[in-house]
Amino acid sequence: MILVTGGAGFIGANFVLDWLAVHDEPVINVDKLTYAGNLDNLASLQGDARHVFVQGDIGAPALINGLLNQHQPRAVVNFAAESHVDRSIHGPEDFIQTNVLGTFRLLEAVRGYWSGLDGSALDAPAKSKFRMLHVSTDEVYGSLAASEAAFTEQHRYEPNSPYSASKAASDHLVRAWHHTYGLPVLTTNCSNNYGPFHFPEKLIPLMVVQALAGKPLPVYGDGQQIRDWLYVKDHCSAIRRVLEAGTVGEVYNVGGWNEKPNLEIVHTICALLDELKPRADGASYATQIAFVNDRPGHDRRYAIDARKLERELGWKPAETFETGIRKTVHWYLDHPEWVARAQSGAYRDWLNTQYAPA
């Protein structure tokens, strides 16, 4: 059995679904169900005895201690995080509470369980095999110039937003708990994910949803910010591989080798929608593109060098950007009910105040 935190969010839910598609090993899934945690993401697991969902906070020691001692998981996979840069700019405290303090409390609960300090009785073989995998982001590394090589695991941390600073802090805590206490941890730092169940505040689902609603497609600044894009199911397969064979204490970068400017992404989505669900007036969705004021401190470029993961653990992404983005657009077209439920009144209010014309 494994314990997954944040398993009702975008990446976490995809991981749980994929895990149970390829394993019979049960999952205890803990999620606070904040605005982006969505049980709709896990609807296909209803009635599946292999999946036990618990609504709760990683920052609640009694809850996590109880689950660890009751279920005796062989691993903990931590996805729980506040994750949107724009929201972190306007409300950083939630990011500090969850990503920093929450990670600290989770580490302490896991340390107590693994070491026996909390009265747990892991036998020697179980203790030696136990792992905690912490899922992080490439944003902790800061921004790259156009001529710079992609981020490797040795790149120094230079976070530029409250979100990335909070994730950098959590990464440092995980590293420290390994080096100080011997906790058997693994860390992954991924590039920008996309795919099914992505909450429609992020670039790709936002563009799809706005386009279909006939609304402007807001593009920050000149739209030339570059990101490396990773299909979420490829990310999930990488996490499974790191959990299976990663070296304790090591960091593994996970990327898709798909550097694209944001504006190119938007045009690609518009072209796919033109093909798959044309506008009634025959015009291209690209006519809805609207440039808006840039995000404060907007990082210009991220790019992940995933060769360590490929070389040491034999992992490679299965999807190209072209295949992954087509699957993603198809998914949103096929799941309008999910989109409608994800777009709460609070979400709409936030979106309406977020973007100002350039």
Q: Which residues are catalytic?
A: 138-139, 163
Q: How long, in residues, is the chain?
A: 358
User: How far apart are the C-alpha atoms of 186 and 189, rounded to whole Å?
Assistant: 10
Please give the backbone phi and psi of residue 137, each rounded to the nearest 5 degrees, phi first. Answer: -135, 155
Amino acid at 348: R
CA 153 to chain centroid? 18
User: How far apart are the C-alpha atoms of 4 and 236, rounded to whole Å?
Assistant: 13
- Which position has the token pair 């807001």? 218
Neighbours of 123 (CB within 10 A): 7
Amino acid at 139: E
Burial 10-28 (b: 16+ CB within 10 A, else e): bbbbbbbbbbbeeeeebbb
Residue 35 is classified by DSSP as: T
Please give the backbone phi and psi of residue 205, each rounded to the nearest 5 degrees, phi first. Answer: -65, -30
Q: Which of these, 195, 85, 145, 167, lies nearest to 303 by C-alpha position?
A: 145
- Report the chain's C-alpha Rg in angstroms: 20
